[in-house]
Amino acid sequence: MTGQPDSLTAMAARGLVVEISQILNESLEIQKKLLKMESKTGEIRQAKLIKDLGISPNTLKIWNEQGLTPINRGGSLFYLLEDLHKFNY
């Protein structure tokens, strides 16, 4: 053994760093978009959230499964902007 990582380990490490970097960049972009959102009630309707953040309904479904809680009012789903900020940090 030479004490240096083999090329497979090095490639895996580089791939992991790239993946983590992409995830952090995506999270930062979401935070930037959230900071621009305004609401008199502090809430945003689900359809507007999906459109304004440029996310898919499936992404929002995953967020809900990970603990983001929508508010159901009159058959429409809303999210508190404060909850969105906390969730995406």
**What's the pLDDT score for residue 8?**
73
Kind and range of the H or E element at 73?
Answer: strand 71-73
Residues counted in the chain = 89
What is the model's pLDDT at position 36? 74
CB 79 within 8 Å of CB 49: yes
Q: Which one of 1.10.10, 3.90.550, 1.10.357, 3.40.50 gives the CATH number of domain 7-87?
A: 1.10.10
pLDDT score recorded for residue 4? 63
Domain ranges of the chain: 7-87
What pLDDT does residue 56 have?
94
Q: What is the pTM of this model?
A: 0.64
Residues of the chain with pLDDT under 50: none
DSSP string, 36-83: H---SSSEEEHHHHHHHHT--HHHHHHHHHTT---EEETTEEEEEHHH
φ/ψ (deg, to 5) at 87: -65, -35
The pLDDT value recorded for residue 40 is: 76
